[in-house]
Amino acid sequence: MTTLAPGANAPLAQGPLTATIGFTPVAGAGLDVSAFLLDANGKVRGDADMCFYGQTIVANGAVQLSQVESGRVVFCLDLDRLDAAVEKVALTATIDENKARFAAFPHLALSVSGGIEAPIPTQDMQETALILGEFYRRQGAWKFRCVAQGFAGGLAPLASHFGVEIAVPTANPPTTPAPAPAPPARINLSKITLDKSRASISLEKKGDGDFGEIKINLNWNRPTTSGGLFSGLLGRSGGVDLDVGCLFELQDGRKGVIQALGKAFGSFDNAPYIHLMGDDRTGAVRDGEWLRINGKEWRNIRRVLVYAFIYQGVPNWNATDGVVTLFAPGQPPIEVRVSEEGGKLGCCAIALLENVGGSVKVSREVRFFQDQQKADQAYQWGLRWSVGSK
Amino acid sequence: MALTLQKGGNLSLSKTDPSLTKILVGLGWDPRVTDGAAFDLDASAFLLNADGKVRGEQDFIFYNQLRSPEGAVEHAGDSRDGLGDGDDEAIKVDLTKVPADVDKIAFVVTIHEAEARRQSFGQVGKAFIRIVNSVSGVEVVRFDLAEDASTETAMIFGELYRHNGEWKFRAVGQGYAGGLKAMCNQFGLNL
């Protein structure tokens, strides 16, 4: 095991590598991790040299963003397959909309397969965008360096450092129509947040009707104390356990519920093609709860209502800072935040997925109900309910 | 066109430029382009005897002692930020004034407060040392440190040394941990 301080470097094992960025999520401060393929001048050659959530596979698969979860991002790299013009691959982390500085992240570390660890010393860091580390060519072989340097101004100065043009809306369009040149392809760095001003979006319809694996994450703000007096106090007053679940209705009329309460976990490969991944109430898994929808079978699904319910603790929705994020392959992530107060109601319908002519329409709901049964009635789902326990 | 040396290479200054007596040793590096604590790099010179040690404190030329007593070595002063054209720091040497028991002059660059700022030479780019004939203004030799530096906080860029009655220059590019204090200890100066 080699531990690298900022500036330190190490040789790499031969063959394909994985680079894992691990961090403790901070409520209200989303972290985006990206890779930039750089030439000898330290610049990208074009948009195709950026690997991020909107473009997860670049360089014919030599660099791939293979896993994005809250608190964990994994890249797969096959550096020897990169063409000779790529001298460096920089891994970066940026805080969404500069909502916090890296000093707010108690734990941030990069590890590379083969035993390289690069903990990033975030204490007092005023940066909102960081170059975590870089792979670089040295005398015919690839090496890795821990960088841990960045920009207080966030993504914009970081992107321009790497020669990336960020789309800026033009205020005054030219009055004389010029012969339309093909606009340079520009990467859209923003993820999609559904809110009151933009309540729904449709995922681009795929020719083959296969949306791949659609992953839905529910995450929320939990107390981070690890035991002792304070955790006891927080456990009574502030600790809230949220569970994710959904109501589904298939095209053939079958319908049901998927949630840990009642042990209805569903199935990915068979109907209802929706699977709830293991419930974790210990707090050890920090990336919340996940529902997976088999997008290959989307044609068989009519609608899915994703909800969160408070299994334990006093309802205080605003303080939970709950967020549902939908990840679909090749699509920007779609976020819906529970930004409103739900009073004492224990169930919040957060997002509705509907099959509209084969596409996936995602709508923000954020409607509160006393329980799932009341939500069922409001959406006219028509299930029969009984009291259950985990 | 000046000569360029590789790491470990050396050059006879007397043969390359017989008129050479007064030289300017220019040292440079790229400042950081990211935000955060600035890099403050300091150039120093150590006048060393045949054993590779200083004869005393007067042989350590740095930002707080800019000139050796006999006037052979003079530091042009501290540049704080590494910005500006060409050299970031410069040290003047008059070879005719170097005391006979000084065999070697080592040129060292160290990172100020490296530990507190968590900085190292792994983060410093495009470092170089060059020897300029300060009478004619012509660059005689240059060494670009293409080193793959890591956590080093002090680096010997190059050295002037006597060899069979002539002055030569060697491209060193050797890094050390421990900053300026470690360099002082290495050269026999116990601070």
Number of separate domains in chain B:
1
| Contact state of B36 with A147 under an 8 Å Cβ cutoff | no
State which residue of chain B sits closest to A153, comparing Cα positions. Answer: B35
CA B48 vs CA A87, B52, B58, B76: distances in Å: 40, 5, 11, 20
Asked if the model's pLDDT at residue A291 lies above 70, the reply is yes
Asked if the model's pLDDT at residue A332 lies above 90, the reply is no
State which residue of chain B sits closest to A121, comparing Cα positions. Answer: B118
Q: Tell me whether residue B43 is in a domain.
A: yes
* Most confident option among A62-66, A200-204, A284-288, A317-321: A62-66
Residue A27 CA, chain-centre distance (Å), reads: 13
In angstroms, the separation between the Cα of residue A110 and the nearest Cα of chain B is 17
Task: At A110, list the tokens.
Answer: 């990069």
Peptide bond into A16 cis (omega under 30): no
- Give me the residue from A138, A146, A149 closest to B36, CB to CB: A149
In angstroms, the separation between the Cα of residue B135 and the nearest Cα of chain A is 36
What is the per-residue burial (b if ≥16 Cβ within 10 Å, else e) of A297-335? bbeebbbbbbbbbbbebebebeebebbbbbbbeebbbbb
Q: Tell me whether residue B94 is in a domain.
A: yes
DSSP string, A127-166: -SEEEEEEEEEETTEEEEEEEEEEETTTHHHHHHHTTPPP
For the residues A113-128, what does the mean pLDDT come to? 93
Number of H helices, E strands in chain A: 4, 26
CATH code for the domain of B160: 2.60.60.30
Backbone angles phi, psi at A255, to 5 degrees: -145, 160
The pLDDT assigned to B37 comes to: 78
- Of A18, A33, A3, A31, the closest CA to residue A135 belongs to A18
Chain B residues with CB-CB distance to A138 below 8 A: 148
State which residue of chain B sits closest to A9, comparing Cα positions. Answer: B150
| Contact state of B120 with A5 under an 8 Å Cβ cutoff | yes
Cβ proximity of A238 and A230 under 8 Å: no
User: Mind listing the pLDDT tens digit for each residue in A77-88?
Assistant: 999 999 999 999
Q: Tell me whether residue B49 is in a domain.
A: yes
Q: Tell me whether residue B191 is in a domain.
A: no
Cβ proximity of A112 and A12 under 8 Å: yes
Chain A residues with CB-CB distance to B122 below 8 A: 6-9, 145-146
| Contact state of B35 with A161 under an 8 Å Cβ cutoff | no
State which residue of chain B sits closest to A136, comparing Cα positions. Answer: B148
Distance between CA B185 and CA B173 in Å, rounded?
A: 18
The pLDDT assigned to A356 comes to: 86
| Contact state of A6 with B118 under an 8 Å Cβ cutoff | yes
Determine which of A9, A123, A143 to mutate to test the interface with B (most B C-beta atoms within 10 Å): A9
The amino acid that residue A183 corresponds to is P
The amino acid that residue A138 corresponds to is R
Which pTM value belongs to this model?
A: 0.60
Cβ proximity of A388 and A373 under 8 Å: no
For the residues A13-21, what does the mean pLDDT come to? 94
pLDDT band at A371 (very low <50, low <70, confident <90, very high): confident
Distance between CA A270 and CA A247 in Å, rounded?
A: 16
- Of A234, A265, A245, A263, the closest CA to residue A349 belongs to A245
B3-5 and B138-145: which strand pairing? Answer: parallel
Domain A2-161 annotated CATH 3.20.20.150: no
- Of A78, A85, A94, the closest CA to residue A131 belongs to A94
Determine which of B123, B124, B126, B145 to mutate to test the interface with A (most A C-beta atoms within 10 Å): B123
Lowest mean pLDDT among A170-174, A251-255, B102-106: A170-174
The pLDDT assigned to A388 comes to: 64
User: Mind listing the pLDDT tens digit for each residue in A32-73?
Assistant: 999 999 999 999 998 899 998 888 999 999 999 999 888 999
Cβ proximity of B99 and B84 under 8 Å: no
Three-class SS of residue B185?
A: helix
For the residues A291-300, what does the mean pLDDT come to? 91
Burial, A269: exposed, middle or buried (Cβ in 10 Å; 0-12, 13-18, 19+)? exposed
The position carrying tokens 């589904």 is A248
Alpha helices in B65-134 (DSSP H): 114-117
Cβ proximity of B119 and A7 under 8 Å: yes
Distance between CA A300 and CA A91 in Å, rounded?
A: 39
Q: What is the ipTM of this complex?
A: 0.77
Length of chain B measured in residues:
191
Chain A residues with CB-CB distance to B34 below 8 A: 127, 131, 149-151, 161
Distance between CA B182 and CA B151 in Å, rounded?
A: 14
The pLDDT assigned to A263 comes to: 84
CATH 2.60.60.30 region(s) of chain A?
2-161, 192-378
| Contact state of B33 with A8 under an 8 Å Cβ cutoff | no
Instruction: Answer left, alpha or beta for residue A222, where phi above 0 means left and psi between -120 and 50 means alpha.
Output: beta
Show which of residues 99-118 on chain B sit within 8 Å of chain A, judged by CB atoms.
Answer: 118
Range of the domain at B148: 3-186
Domain A192-378 annotated CATH 2.60.60.30: yes
Q: If residue B182 lies in a helix (H) or strand (E), which one and from where to where?
A: helix B179-186
State which residue of chain B sits closest to A130, comparing Cα positions. Answer: B34
